[in-house]
Structure 1
Amino acid sequence: MVAHKILVIDDSKVIRMRVKDMLPDGNFEVIEAKNGLEGFNLINTEQPNLIMLDFLLPKMSGWEVYQEIQKRPELKVIPLVLMSGRKEEVTEKLTEPFELFSFIEKPFDQKQLIDAIKDAMAKARKHPKVVAPPAQDVSGDLSGGGAANDVAALQKRIDRLESEVETLKKQMSQLVSFIKQKLK
């Protein structure tokens, strides 16, 4: 039985194979996806313990996959290593320091890969774990249920606000890029 699943989402077969070959021997299975859509579907069906995500992908970009991961608390806790040959494309959309994931610039060697994985795991441990809301007491005392409903409503608002902040960040980044282009 495999203890850990590592999902490598990259349109380059060479990169997928390199990552597989660079990983130390261990009790894990490497799952590969050649585009963002396939990768996102595998995240949902395979429930990997680690995601290695290329930023530039066909069908669904790494940026879009990242945004979908951030919308779902149960996916946000999975350690994530974002990969790209051009760091500036990542920093246009996501500002440093990267707190939610680890970043590795292509090409990379085995030590850089292992360090990025360790960093991603440490960052993932900082995320609050997803906890199911407490069950309502059906014995007539609904005071706990009201609090659970309030917490769920607040969590929905927080999720919506985080989504709006991400959208605003993206728009601001696009605006800055546009202004920089006009100033050239």
Structure 2
Amino acid sequence: MTEKKIKILVIDDKEELLMLVAVIFEDTGYEIIGLKNSLEAFETAIKEQPDVIILDIMMPKMDGWEVFKKIKGNPLTAHTPVLILSVMADREEAEKGKEMGADAIMRKPFEPNKLIKIVNKILNTEEKHSV
């Protein structure tokens, strides 16, 4: 019997960040799905049913908080853990994230090992990769 591959949906309007996260998790065996368009985020979350979502806040068209509300407000995706990743992750943003139910909040730029540790903690898995 094959073990289900862990799936991470990364939503960020910056291609460089999507590629960086894919490289960071390359050796973990996790499947990384990168998405630049925040308007497609909710539908992609329903279709892909990721194990965790890494979500940027500052995006054009629909900001990350709006995406977060849609994900947490739907029974098909409400259970999915969300890690907020933002340049604006100050104390106020962290409080807002906690109040809204974010599983973790991390400031950009970030250390790759720290991102892996936080994702593994959210997923309750052992640390599988370090940079």
Q: Give the one of 19, 22, 25 matched to 1:20.
A: 22
Say which of 15, 26, 36 aligns to 2:38: 36
In the other structure, the counterpart of 1:104 is 106
Which secondary structure state, in structure 2, belongs to the residue aligned with residue 11 of structure 1? coil
Corresponding residue to 2:70 among 68, 71, 78: 68
3-state DSSP of counterpart to 2:90: helix
Instruction: After TM superposition, list the pairs within 5 Å mapping 1:106-125 onto structure 2.
Output: 106-121=108-123
State the structure with bigger RCO (CA 8 A, min sep 6), 1 or 2. Answer: 2
1:85 alignment partner AA: V
Cα drift, residue 116 of structure 1? 1.9
Task: Give runs of ≥4 in structure 1 deviating > 4 Å.
Answer: 95-99
CA deviation after TM superposition for structure 1 residue 90, in Å? 6.1
Other-structure match for 1:8:
10
Structure 2 counterpart of 1:17, one-letter code: M
Whichever structure has more strand as a proportion of its residues is 2
TM-score, structure 1 as length reference: 0.58
1:104 is paired with a residue whose SS is: strand
Do the aligned partners of 1:103 and 1:116 also contact (CA within 8 Å) in 2?
no
Aligned counterpart in structure 2 of residue 79 of structure 1, from 75, 78, 81: 81
Compare the two structures and name the one with the higher helix fraction: 1
Aligned length: 122
Distance verdict in 2 for CA 1:90–1:15, change over 3 Å: farther
Structure 1: state its 5+ residue gaps. Answer: 123-184
The one of 51, 54, 69 equivalent to 1:52 is: 54
- The two structures have a TM-score, normalised by structure 2, of 0.78
